[in-house]
Structure 1
């Protein structure tokens, strides 16, 4: 599915929003920043930018992302993640291990992923899975809370 990025002006590169955390509340406040995006693969690009984290200037404004530092180990898909968008649902499965940082950090990570992907009109629901296919940071036996909507 092709997702449209927003052009800033005529003849300029399209842009996407990346939502970073500001402060350490649960799930926390998010602030959108814009990034020049490629013409294709804008949702993937937006998540890549979330993993990369804020620029130095954005950090000085108090923005942060806990996601990038928590992704470690070998990939089982030659990338950090796979992203599929179909029928209004974005499914993000990490191909490397994502370590939790505690309840607050985990909530902020999920919140920034959700907001970053929901900017696209084709996305109504976001499902975030770990390397093993369980809902990211779900500590229940089933590991399926994000699939049923009971997070």
Structure 2
């Protein structure tokens, strides 16, 4: 039974390895700006996690020459409280992305572009209907209101 289970896990994880995912990068300076999809080959089955890792890594040199960029990668600083840049959970249609390192705001435009690229990148997956992006303290990313819950409740 154990061998059958191991074989099943191997087949399922191999089936998703090498699958294409989209990563949405910014183009131009609008608020929240235009996003453009590029494709990446995921080397493992964690497709949503891989796509956010690629968003943080930023566009390739060729993609940069096309005017694509990511405000996100350069804004992540400091020590992690979870051993990685972020944690990601998808439950009941909601993708909750919590950054484990500090994400510095870069102003209204940059913050809006970061949130837009995160949302577009995660919403490509049919299991994701809503995206919640949280900072290291568990507050909505870039939400400076007293409550810090606008991304969860949908209200400011």
The two structures have a TM-score, normalised by structure 2, of 0.88
Correspondence 1:137 to 2:135: no
> Which SS does the other structure have where 1:132 is aligned?
coil
Superposition map of 1:103-114 within 5 A: 103-114=108-119
Gaps of 5+ in 2: 1-15
Aligned with residue 19 of structure 1, among 24, 33, 38: 24
Which residue, 108, 124, 127 being the options, matches 1:122? 127
Q: Does 1:49 align with 2:57?
A: no
Query: Which structure has the bigger radius of gyration?
Result: 2
Structure number having the greater helix percentage? 2
Task: Give the corresponding residue for 2:39.
Answer: 34
Q: Deviations over 1:64-118 (max 9, x none)?
A: 0010000000000000000000100000000000000000000000000000000
How far residue 149 of structure 1 moved from its aligned partner, in angstroms, is: 1.3
Partner deviation per Cα, 1:28-79 (whole Å, 9 max, x = no partner)? 0000000001341000000000000000000000000010000000000000
Structure 1 gaps of 5+ residues are 1-6
TM-score (norm 1): 0.91
Alpha-carbon RMSD across the aligned residues, in angstroms, is 1.5
- What is the aligned counterpart of 1:149 among 129, 138, 154? 154
User: May I ask how many residue pairs the two structures share in their alignment?
Assistant: 142
